[in-house]
Amino acid sequence: MAMDAQLIKLVNRLQDVFSTVGVSNPIDLPQITVIGSQSSGKSSVLENIVGRDFLPRGTGIVTRRPLVLQLINRPATPAAPGSPATDGEPAADGTSGDNQDNKNEWGEFLHAPNKRFYNFDEIRKEIIRDTDEKAGANTGISHAPINLRIYSPNVLTLTLVDLPGLTKVPVGDQPKDIEIQIREMLLKYITKPNAIILAVTAANTDLANSDGLKLAREVDPEGSRTIGVLTKVDLMDPGTDVVDILAGRVIPLRLGYVPVVNRGQKDIDKRKSIALALEHERSYFEEHPSYRSKAQYCGTPFLARKLNMILLHHIKNTLPEIKNRISAALQKYQAELAQLGDPIDDPSSSTANVVLSVITEFCNDFRNLLDGTAGDLSTVELSGGARISFVFHELFSNGIKAIDPFDQIKDTDIRTIMYNSSGSQPALFVGAQAFEVLVKQQIKRLEDPSLKCVQLVYDELARILAQLLQKPVFKRFPDLRDRVNSNVLQFLRKALIPTNKLVTDLLAAEMCYINTGHPDFINGHRATAIVQERLNPRPPPPGPQAQPNIGPGASPMQTPLGGGAPAVPPRGGAASQSQLTAAGGSPTYMIPPEDTAGSGSGSGFFTSFFSKKKKGANGPTIDNPPPVLRPEGKLTDRETLETEVIKLLLTSYFNIVKRTIADMVPKSIMLNLVAYSKENMQRTLLADLYQKNVLDEVLKESDATLARRREVKKMIDALERADEIVSTV
């Protein structure tokens, strides 16, 4: 039994260790959590277990902070003859002796470690005072626990956590969400796997409506770590009992139920001693016809022994796991402390090395992310250089390929450009100048996506920068992070200028010289032959003798169109149309005959501006041309031929340019932006940051880093002490 008591004391010591840390406890320690609705008798059960009046009482929320109650059994010191009641016995009038000093029983608060409270009324006042200090004087609650240790020869070594009672409706000054706040607090404690749930329920109410049992079933649906306590058994209606509940026939719990009889409010008001109350409880169960056969399994003493055994058994089962968790947590916090680094106490001696190390590591990480050689490559998403590759080969390349020259150029536009490019002198052949104008217009369209590609790569480099600035060393030194961020972005923006210029120069070079001698470019003769074949497909020959005699050296332009039609439309048209035709794609002005002038139904290119109405003294007059003059009417055969030839030539050459730009723009960006940043970024950062007047400024640790280092050190100290404690077992 001595060893068993030591186990509970060990857990108590661990609780004390982690309570002084001030941060969340990383170790789930075995403990008994007490839950129940308001006025269910939780406080009376705890006071009966302790044997003293020490908890605050009243209406509404009385327990407003978790109370970690550690009961320590210690032998009593023999009392001097004639001394007053010193062991908690009732006074001569039968009232409680809790207001008297007692050398054998006292309490200690963790927040006042050097003070012993021998008077339990003073313990109650201290609980109220500390609660008001942390949670306010109104009815608010606080998650900060109160740690109270009670030494007494009349208790079993035990650890209990008294939690606020569940409530439904806010009363008085209570917050409107008080039910949610209390529920969240209780769940924080009872959801831990190592917590034993002590669900207190009044026996004179329907068990199915028990708030404590309902909440316990949410986190422990099998009832494997829940023990039920039935209070107010003596207040049940005559002829009723809790035998069925105790037998597990209502809501079964693996740890079972224990019925108890507490002091009533009248007994409390009269300060009836707990010793007398426990005697009354024992008599009640021994004399009650329903419980007398099982009286030894009823009452507060049995509950205390059962809780003691349950807690001991639970500690024995979980102790190996606790050791492992303490060891793992210690390693984790030691690694975090190493990452936070030591405080820089002497800037003059250490700042230069720190800045040099940070810059070198940053630039190495930057290069590794671009080259795909980082040690922590993601398996979830693309990052670094892979995203730049995606920009080049998916976004930019596919965007360039998707540009269609004829989504903006129509056949009528080509006809207009052909006329405009020939000027006042009609051309003899398909105008090369019209082709060049159209090609340059389309090459110009490649400039925006090319510059957009440069901007996208710049954004990806800035994204890598932001990713690297999330590392702990930059959180530790926020001024250094801001300085590095500013310098790198400025460096990249400077590199952006020559990169954009090189890309625009590439496009300017393409527009400056239209290389119609490119080996992949379809020549004019071939284009004309293809268009002629497309417009006038040859009929299948009737027989071997009907095959036309065309020499192998015949030019496609000399080849008759199908059926013997000439390759070029004849100069003259129908005699009634009075055509003036220029050969080789030159403008042809259609002059309607006298009887159709102005009707708009002629086959000419422009609306007739001849008037048959106006006549001067010497004959018909000519109107001024309209302000806007565009070709109208259906394309002639020659115009169709020339338009299709230009479209074919334009498609062929534009595809060559698109392939060139899709290949050269990424190379230009890699040269002037990506590779340049990899090679020169470290030199730039060192030139700006590795200076005496800058070093002292950038290596000022953030308040969050300083606070976190203190927390981590506290936790490491606590875990080291905890490791020493569990190593003794």
Which two tokens mark 49?
């277990």
The dihedral through the CA atoms of 122, 123, 128, 132 has a sign that is positive
Exposed e or buried b per residue across 151-173, where buried means at least 16 C-beta atoms within 10 angstroms of its C-beta:
bbebbbbbbbbbbbbbbeeeeee
Owner of token pair 């269910």:
40
Same-domain status, 279 and 355: no
The closest alpha carbon to 48, from 283, 257, 231, belongs to: 231
| Cα 18–Cα 23–Cα 25 angle in degrees, nearest 5 | 45
Same-domain status, 413 and 530: yes
Residues 6 or more apart in contact with residue 362 via CB below 8 angstroms: 468, 484, 685
Instruction: Please indicate, yes or no, if residue 328 is contained in any of the structural domains.
Output: no
Query: What CATH number does residue 411 fall under?
Result: 1.20.120.1240
What span, in angstroms and rounded, lies between the C-alpha atoms of 718 and 16? 9
Same-domain status, 288 and 407: no
Distance, first Cα to last Cα, the chain: 15
What span, in angstroms and rounded, lies between the C-alpha atoms of 16 and 9? 10
Instruction: Please indicate, yes or no, if residue 686 is contained in any of the structural domains.
Output: yes
Chain segment 646-660, per-residue pLDDT in tens: 888 888 889 999 999
Instruction: Please indicate, yes or no, if residue 480 is contained in any of the structural domains.
Output: yes
What span, in angstroms and rounded, lies between the C-alpha atoms of 189 and 219? 10
Same-domain status, 364 and 276: no
What pLDDT shows up at residue 21? 62
Same-domain status, 284 and 417: no
Instruction: Please indicate, yes or no, if residue 335 is contained in any of the structural domains.
Output: no
Residue ending a domain, among 236, 270, 298, is 298
The closest alpha carbon to 145, from 45, 36, 21, belongs to: 21
Same-domain status, 1 and 116: yes
Chain segment 550-582, per-residue pLDDT in tens: 344 444 433 333 333 333 343 333 333 323 233
Chain segment 537-550, per-residue pLDDT in tens: 777 766 555 444 43
Same-domain status, 34 and 172: yes
Instruction: Please indicate, yes or no, if residue 120 is contained in any of the structural domains.
Output: yes
Instruction: Please indicate, yes or no, if residue 311 is contained in any of the structural domains.
Output: no
Instruction: Please indicate, yes or no, if residue 398 is contained in any of the structural domains.
Output: yes
Instruction: Please indicate, yes or no, if residue 426 is contained in any of the structural domains.
Output: yes
What span, in angstroms and rounded, lies between the C-alpha atoms of 340 and 725? 27
Do the beta carbons of residue 720 and residue 19 sit within 8 Å? no
**What range does the domain containing 52 cover?**
1-6+29-75+103-298
Same-domain status, 367 and 513: yes
SS3 228: strand
Residues 6 or more apart in contact with residue 84 via CB below 8 angstroms: 100
Same-domain status, 36 and 144: yes
The closest alpha carbon to 210, from 196, 225, 228, belongs to: 228
What pLDDT shows up at residue 227? 93
The arithmetic mean of pLDDT across residues 92-104, rounded, is 56
Residues 6 or more apart in contact with residue 66 via CB below 8 angstroms: 143, 144, 145, 146, 161, 162, 163, 164, 185, 189
Total number of domains in the chain: 2
Same-domain status, 233 and 126: yes
In single-letter form, the type of residue at position 5 comes to A
| Cα 42–Cα 43–Cα 46 angle in degrees, nearest 5 | 90
pTM of the prediction? Answer: 0.57
Chain segment 361-385, per-residue pLDDT in tens: 999 999 998 888 877 777 777 888 8
Same-domain status, 263 and 145: yes
Chain segment 572-618, per-residue pLDDT in tens: 333 333 232 333 333 433 333 433 333 333 334 444 444 445 555 66
Same-domain status, 260 and 115: yes
